[in-house]
């Protein structure tokens, strides 16, 4: 069985979105007729919408999991805002 280092899904999805954005930008600069049709525009927009929603969802779930782990360990402390005088 292969083992992988634990990586947060947020970073994987966010990185994939950044790479895709660079690829789409490159294609837009190189190809004059990119994306070629209205269907292509809709498909690219839908892909980015799904990636954005997945990235936001992964960030929220990761934050909730981290918060619950801190609470279970008993290391959760109340924070107070301290203003300088």
Number of H helices, E strands in the chain: 2, 0
Q: How far is residue 7's CA from residue 16's CA, in Å, rounded to a whole number?
A: 14
Q: How far is residue 55's CA from residue 58's CA, in Å, rounded to a whole number?
A: 5
Which pLDDT value is given to residue 28? 92
Which pLDDT value is given to residue 73? 62
Tens digits of residue pLDDT in 11-51: 889 899 999 999 999 999 999 898 889 999 999 999 999 99
Single pTM value for the model: 0.67
Q: How far is residue 39's CA from residue 30's CA, in Å, rounded to a whole number?
A: 20
**Taking 90 as the threshold, does the pLDDT of residue 70 lie above it?**
no
**Taking 80 as the threshold, does the pLDDT of residue 9 lie above it?**
yes
Burial code of 9-32, b = ≥16 C-beta within 10 A, e = fewer? ebeebbeebeeeeeeeeeeeeeee
**Taking 80 as the threshold, does the pLDDT of residue 58 lie above it?**
yes
């Amino acid at each position: 069985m292969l083992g992988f280092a634990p990586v947060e899904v947020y970073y994987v999805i966010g990185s994939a979105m950044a790479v895709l954005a660079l690829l789409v930008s490159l294609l837009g600069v190189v190809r004059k007729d990119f994306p070629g049709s209205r269907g292509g525009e809709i498909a690219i927009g839908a892909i980015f919408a799904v990636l954005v929603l997945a990235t936001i969802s992964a960030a929220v779930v990761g934050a909730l999991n981290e918060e619950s782990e801190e609470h279970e360990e008993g290391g959760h402390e109340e924070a107070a805002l301290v203003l300088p005088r």
